[in-house]
């Protein structure tokens, strides 16, 4: 069979609302040309993020009913904890309300002025939390990752030689942890190989530095390893996942991605002393250690979601349907970051609208155009997200089309392809933007713009 079908059927539906072009023009102006300010009811196909936007299964909804809301020691917590132990092999498992809460706790304990945290590519909230602690966040992607048309199979890999140089430059005492993001979100949803993780681990061991995974998309990463890494093709995804976690001293996870839930996060820690201190901060700022700022029902949904995400027919469908979008766009001459990532396709805005200089935010201009044309909401991952505040412009100007899990069908995606191709044909008409209002940190969420 050539067709990869959705390995589920639909039990409950949500109607979509169509808008006219004039309506969308008004909404864009009211939103200050920032799609984060749009009302989602005015969006037809919402590809802003795959975070917390997935559809839960009937078993997850059953878990929602089963949830036990005891303050301490709820059976829902133990189900969640045991599932995570079984998958990751970690003993120290803390629930948090989402990924950035795990990051904030970790960097409150490990960060601070004078510290340097290397990562293959920090995501926006990770970078912001590292920097909020006073530490520096440094990205060490392999050079191939900066070339949009390079089809390297593991473009998420860290440049291990650059990691060695960084440790030599700052000294191992200044590096409280090495982070590795699987899959790498800001660099295109690209996977990291087991070989690369082992090489990073070896460097960490030589210098006595702990290795932490930003493991939001650990299952998608493991699926890519199974597909692409020599010698891994016959291994169960679960075994590959276990290898990934075995290499780490800890992990931050947003369960809103591969946890397949609408809210939730996890912090995994091996060191008992660090776990103890993290538990204290968790109780102070999130909630008691057996619920971490969540309801018991959320823990049930996570316990089930982390199980379902490892079903290989699901992962095959997931990664192939993202590839479908990417491959069709490439076939029609639309420049994307190749190869397509696991959770998203990233349009290469610099190549899409070469007439717009980086200072006028080509990614933002393209994001605006997609909504204007077809009611599609995408997310700029470029100079709006990572510029400003004295930062260098990022190496690429991207527009991420993130695919919510188990939500849209192939005809929705075909509509998206038609719309993007139509915008691409008239790309020379797109106009740059200037910022009229922006906060100090994470400015992409709230900045307002004006068209040039």
Among the listed ranges 252-260, 289-297, 393-401, 437-445, the one in contact with ligand PLP (CB under 6 A) is: 252-260
Segment 205 to 244, residues that bind ligand PLP, using CB under 6 A: 214, 216
Q: Two tokens at 400?
A: 């991420």
**Sign of the CA dihedral with 367 first, then 362, 364, and 252 last:** positive
Contact 188, 155 (CB under 8 A): yes
Among the listed ranges 92-100, 200-208, 348-356, 428-436, the one in contact with ligand PLP (CB under 6 A) is: 92-100
- Nearest 5°: phi and psi at 109? -85, -35
| Residues 290, 288: Cα–Cα separation, whole Å | 6
**Sign of the CA dihedral with 185 first, then 316, 94, and 292 last:** positive
Closest to ligand PLP by CB, 255 or 419: 255
> By CB under 6 A, is residue 449 in contact with ligand PLP?
no
Residues 6+ apart with CB under 8 A from 141: 120, 121, 155, 156, 157, 158, 159, 184, 187
Closest to ligand PLP by CB, 44 or 177: 177
> By CB under 6 A, is residue 265 in contact with ligand PLP?
yes
The Cβ-side half-sphere exposure at 24, using a 13 Å CA radius, reads 19
At residue 349's C-alpha, the angle toward residues 435 and 411, to 5°, is 110
Segment 113 to 132, residues that bind ligand PLP, using CB under 6 A: 123, 125-126
Closest to ligand PLP by CB, 43 or 179: 179
Among the listed ranges 106-114, 170-178, 254-262, 334-342, the one in contact with ligand PLP (CB under 6 A) is: 254-262
Q: In what order do the strands lie in the sheet with 344-348?
A: 344-348, 398-402, 379-381
Give the one residue of 53, 60, 76, 98 binding ligand PLP; rule: CB under 6 A.
Answer: 98
Closest to ligand PLP by CB, 222 or 417: 222
Residues 6+ apart with CB under 8 A from 329: 336, 345, 347, 417, 420, 421
Among the listed ranges 93-101, 162-170, 297-305, 384-392, the one in contact with ligand PLP (CB under 6 A) is: 93-101
Q: Two tokens at 380?
A: 């700029």
Among the listed ranges 168-176, 225-233, 250-258, 414-422, the one in contact with ligand PLP (CB under 6 A) is: 250-258
> By CB under 6 A, is residue 405 in contact with ligand PLP?
no
Residues that bind ligand PLP (CB under 6 A): 51, 98-100, 123, 125-126, 181, 185, 214, 216, 254, 256-257, 265
């Amino acid at each position: 069979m050539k067709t990869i079908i959705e390995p589920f059927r639909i039990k409950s539906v949500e109607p979509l609302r169509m808008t006219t072009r004039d309506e969308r023009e008004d909404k864009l102006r009211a939103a200050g040309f920032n799609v984060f300010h749009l009302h989602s009811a005015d969006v037809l196909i919402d590809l802003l993020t795959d975070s917390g936007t997935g559809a839960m299964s009937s078993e997850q909804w059953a878990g929602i009913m089963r949830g036990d809301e005891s303050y301490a020691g709820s059976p829902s917590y133990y189900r969640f904890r045991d599932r995570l132990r079984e998958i990751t092999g970690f003993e120290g498992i803390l629930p948090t309300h989402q990924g950035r809460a795990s990051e904030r706790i970790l960097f409150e304990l490990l960060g601070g002025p004078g510290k340097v945290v290397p990562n293959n590519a920090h995501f926006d909230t990770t970078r912001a939390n590292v920097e909020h602690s006073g530490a520096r966040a440094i990205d060490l992607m392999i050079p191939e990752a900066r070339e949009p048309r390079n089809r390297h199979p593991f473009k998420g890999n860290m440049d291990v030689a650059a990691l060695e140089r960084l440790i030599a430059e700052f000294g191992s005492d200044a590096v409280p942890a090495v982070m590795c993001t699987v899959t790498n979100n800001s660099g295109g949803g690209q996977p990291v190989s087991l070989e690369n993780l082992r090489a990073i681990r070896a460097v960490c061991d030589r210098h006595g530095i702990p290795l932490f995974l930003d493991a939001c998309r650990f299952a998608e990463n493991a699926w890519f390893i199974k597909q692409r890494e020599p010698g891994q093709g016959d291994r169960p995804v679960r075994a590959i996942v276990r290898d990934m976690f075995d290499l780490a001293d800890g992990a931050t996870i947003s369960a809103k991605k591969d946890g397949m839930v609408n809210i939730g996060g996890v912090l995994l820690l091996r060191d008992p002393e660090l776990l103890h201190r993290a538990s204290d901060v968790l109780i102070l700022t999130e909630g008691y250690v057996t619920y971490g700022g969540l309801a018991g029902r959320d823990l049930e949904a996570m316990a089930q979601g982390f199980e379902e995400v490892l079903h290989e027919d699901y992962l095959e469908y997931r990664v192939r349907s993202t590839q479908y979008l990417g491959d069709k766009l490439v076939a029609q001459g639309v420049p994307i970051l190749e190869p397509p990532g696991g959770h998203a396709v990233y349009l290469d805005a610099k190549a899409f609208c070469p007439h717009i200089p980086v200072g006028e935010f080509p990614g933002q201009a393209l994001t605006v155009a997609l909504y204007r044309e077809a009611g599609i909401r995408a997310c700029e991952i470029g100079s709006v997200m990572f510029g400003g505040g004295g930062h260098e412009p990022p190496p690429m100007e991207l527009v991420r089309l993130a695919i919510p899990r188990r939500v849209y069908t192939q005809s929705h995606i075909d509509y998206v392809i038609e719309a993007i191709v139509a915008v691409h044909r008239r790309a020379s008409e797109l106009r740059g933007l200037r910022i009229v209002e922006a906060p100090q940190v994470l400015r992409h969420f709230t900045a307002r713009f004006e068209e040039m």
